[in-house]
Structure 1
Amino acid sequence: MRRLVARALARPLVLAAAATAIPLASAAPASADSIVVGGFPVEVSDSPWTVALSSRDRFGGTRAGQFCGGVAVGRTTVLTAAHCLGEDVLGSPPERVRDLSVIAGRTDLVSDQGREIPVRDVWVNPAHDDVSNAGDFAVLTLSEALPAGSAIGMAAEGDPAYRPDTRALVYGWGDTSGAGDYANSLRAARVRVLSDASCERAYPGSDDGRYLAGSMLCAGEEAGGRDSCQGDSGGPLVAQGRLVGLVSWGSGCGRPGSPGVYTRVSAVLRTLGWDHQAARQSGGA
């Protein structure tokens, strides 16, 4: 039986080998050059809004404490997945994680590139359902501003970037194979936005989870092989230069017929009342 998998790391990464012990439903094998799953290396300078969430206290220093992704939508505002900030991931409420920070401007987690900025405030969507993963988003407020040009615009409802078959990129430092092979350097994978009908067929409400078109978006390839995976949660799905999704959940990684499911950014905008700011890069900051 396949198992629903939220895409955050659920235990400390004290040693690199510890990552391989994270339980994960078996996934379709990835190609030899797979990264993210079925992806390629990128420089953070090409996507400066892609950031990593970090806590060395919780996840160790091997990969700078990275456990999830995030995306800057304003100079002090970062969106991520709500489930990344759950007690089952962090071991305590996020406000009690003393070293919770965002790593920005760093391609390789083990380098000293970029900045590590403490998180000043955390807002987790109170309507997040940790069973279905509906409403899977949170807002982080940074203690210091990111450089100008570090934020990405968000796609409001009706934006053509949500149309089925639109090409998109998903970014992250997560598992590159579905078997616990975690990347030190940022990766991206080319995927396609899929129709709500195909996503509902993939996740009709069985043990694999239920797709809810009003708050979710799915992307990948019908044949599998390109996908987000563990450790990528909260990271950006970008289409036509705009943010359309946040990595949320899926059944395994890169499996045929089991695309990645993302929090739909237009639903985030509605919930936060940011609809009129979607075309700007302020994100309510």
Structure 2
Amino acid sequence: MFRTVVRAMTGLFALVAAAAVIPLGSPVPAAADSIVIGGQPAHVKDSPWVVALSSRNRFGGTRAGQFCGAVLVRPTKVLTAAHCLSREALGIDVSQVHDLRIIAGRDELTGSGGREVAVKETWINPGYNPTTNSGDLAVLTLADALPGESVIPMATAGDRADEPGSAALVYGWGDTSGSGDYVTSLRSAQVRVLPDSTCERAYPGGRGAAYEASTMLCAGEPHGGHDACQGDSGGPLVAGGRLIGLVSWGNGCGMAGSPGVYTRISAAAGWMAGSS
């Protein structure tokens, strides 16, 4: 996720904006985003809905062009964070990124397994607010369908999977330390969904974005240590076999008192009505 210790600019893009101006093709890590802190190796055979978002033209080939995470929810539909497709993140308008694709079925980004599938169409939630981070969701339509058994069901309104206290897993290929230690193999970390009151205290607004329970949820551990980090934006937060969140924003990575904030999937059905 696009997380910085001091959330300046819009609260998401300070690190990403810097990455976006690096010359094309440079052998650099994924665009500012986050990887899993305090996690362990994960395997796509156990979580085939986890996919990487890639553009080698924008981010080079060192990590197969990976710059964000994403998740397969229909054979031809993938969800990611809206901020992953922003001009601040990409350096150009997403319509000009002609090699945008997802990498599916591959633990190791630089490996040869799995499939790379072109993105045919992008839809960014028109209600997304880059200042408040609210509504941070985008839908990608793939040029070719992936197997139906690879999709994950989405949490809906009233779903108990995203209730406070629920154990959840966050997945990504991002920074594992908060200091730019990117990996090329998929990892996951176990976190817990936290009460809205905890998140509101952590992110009251003022100098940074405010937590909004209607469109966001947050997860982590009271003393930190388990979190998403740079390079994980748009990746899935999963509980009870359902997608409950997308990595969105936060203050630092794995810091006590600064849980990760996720797009609340149970609120997203209404937003996506115009995406199909």
TM-score (norm 1): 0.88
Deviation string, structure 1 residues 35-60 (Cα, Å, up to 9, x no partner): 71000001111110000000000000
Separation in structure 2 between the aligned mates of residue 90 and residue 154 of structure 1, nearest angstrom: 27
Match of 2:140?
140
Deviation at 1:183, TM superposition (A): 1.2
Deviation at 1:6, TM superposition (A): 2.9
One-letter amino acid matched to 2:191: V
**Contact 1:208-1:251 within 8 A present in 2 as well:** no
- Local SS of the residue matching 1:44: coil
One-letter amino acid matched to 1:84: C
Match of 1:105?
105
Deviation at 1:85, TM superposition (A): 0.3
Q: Does 1:6 align with 2:9?
A: no
**Contact 1:244-1:266 within 8 A present in 2 as well:** yes
- Local SS of the residue matching 1:251: coil
Match of 1:221?
221
Q: CA RMSD in A?
A: 2.3
Match of 2:120?
120
Separation in structure 2 between the aligned mates of residue 151 and residue 220 of structure 1, nearest angstrom: 25
Separation in structure 2 between the aligned mates of residue 15 and residue 40 of structure 1, nearest angstrom: 28
One-letter amino acid matched to 1:6: L
Deviation at 1:170, TM superposition (A): 0.2
One-letter amino acid matched to 1:3: V
Equivalent residue runs for 1:178-189 within 5 Å: 178-189=178-189
Structure 1 window deviating more from structure 2 (265-274 vs 137-146): it is 265-274
**Contact 1:6-1:230 within 8 A present in 2 as well:** no
| Identity among equivalent pairs (%) | 57
Separation in structure 1 between the aligned mates of residue 119 and residue 33 of structure 2, nearest angstrom: 29
Match of 1:156?
156
Separation in structure 2 between the aligned mates of residue 37 and residue 261 of structure 1, nearest angstrom: 14
Separation in structure 2 between the aligned mates of residue 151 and residue 6 of structure 1, nearest angstrom: 28
Distance 1:130 1:20, change over 3 A: closer
Separation in structure 1 between the aligned mates of residue 246 and residue 76 of structure 2, nearest angstrom: 18
One-letter amino acid matched to 1:268: A
Structure 2's unaligned 5+ residue stretches are none
Structure 1's unaligned 5+ residue stretches are 25-34, 275-283
Structure 1 window deviating more from structure 2 (4-13 vs 245-254): it is 4-13
Separation in structure 2 between the aligned mates of residue 255 and residue 2 of structure 1, nearest angstrom: 9
**Contact 2:30-2:231 within 8 A present in 1 as well:** no
Separation in structure 1 between the aligned mates of residue 239 and residue 189 of structure 2, nearest angstrom: 12
**Contact 2:74-2:148 within 8 A present in 1 as well:** no
Separation in structure 1 between the aligned mates of residue 32 and residue 163 of structure 2, nearest angstrom: 35
Separation in structure 2 between the aligned mates of residue 140 and residue 39 of structure 1, nearest angstrom: 27
Distance 1:228 1:19, change over 3 A: same
Total equivalences in the alignment: 265
Deviation at 1:23, TM superposition (A): 10
Deviation at 1:185, TM superposition (A): 0.3
Deviation at 1:20, TM superposition (A): 9.9
- Local SS of the residue matching 1:200: helix
**Contact 1:6-1:233 within 8 A present in 2 as well:** no
Equivalent residue runs for 1:205-284 within 5 Å: 205-273=205-273
